[in-house]
Amino acid sequence: MSADAQPQLVFFTSHRSGPARRMESLLAHLARKERGRLQVRRVDVDEHPDLAERFRVQQVPALALVVGKRVVGRLEGRATAPRIEAMLEPYLPPEPLAALSG
């Protein structure tokens, strides 16, 4: 699967947001766990207010799941791993067989 075809999880954050800073390690873990099936992108809303506006971000932290240039899921505020995984599951491609057998 090409990188462009992979779902992208866009993490809208700010250095001023405590909840966003607390989600950093959760998203880093998720990026490692789902490497090859999901791209995780980080966007600082202070540095890129245009992207925050385009994605209609009302609260930081926020997550937007993009598949095929369409936002198919979003979470605003601090999210737990189970909530994020539930949003991602329908859109992630199946795991490669090598990952399942190892």
Which pLDDT band holds residue 1 (cuts at 50, 70, 90)?
A: very low
Task: Return the top range by mean pLDDT from 4-8, 17-21, 47-51, 90-94.
Answer: 47-51
* pLDDT at res. 101: 53
CB 22 within 8 A of CB 78: yes
Phi, psi of 99 (to 5 degrees): -70, -35
Domain ranges of the chain: 3-101
Give 70-84 pLDDT, tens digit per residue: 999 999 999 999 999
Phi, psi of 41 (to 5 degrees): -115, 140
And the tokens for 59?
């609260």
* pLDDT at res. 16: 92
Give 25-63 pLDDT, tens digit per residue: 999 999 999 998 999 999 999 999 999 999 999 999 999
| Peptide bond connecting 61 to the previous residue in cis, omega within 30 degrees of 0 | yes
* pLDDT at res. 95: 76
CATH of 3-101, one of 3.40.50.10490, 3.40.640.10, 3.40.50.150, 3.40.30.10: 3.40.30.10
Over residues 17-32, mean pLDDT: 93
pTM of the entire structure?
0.86
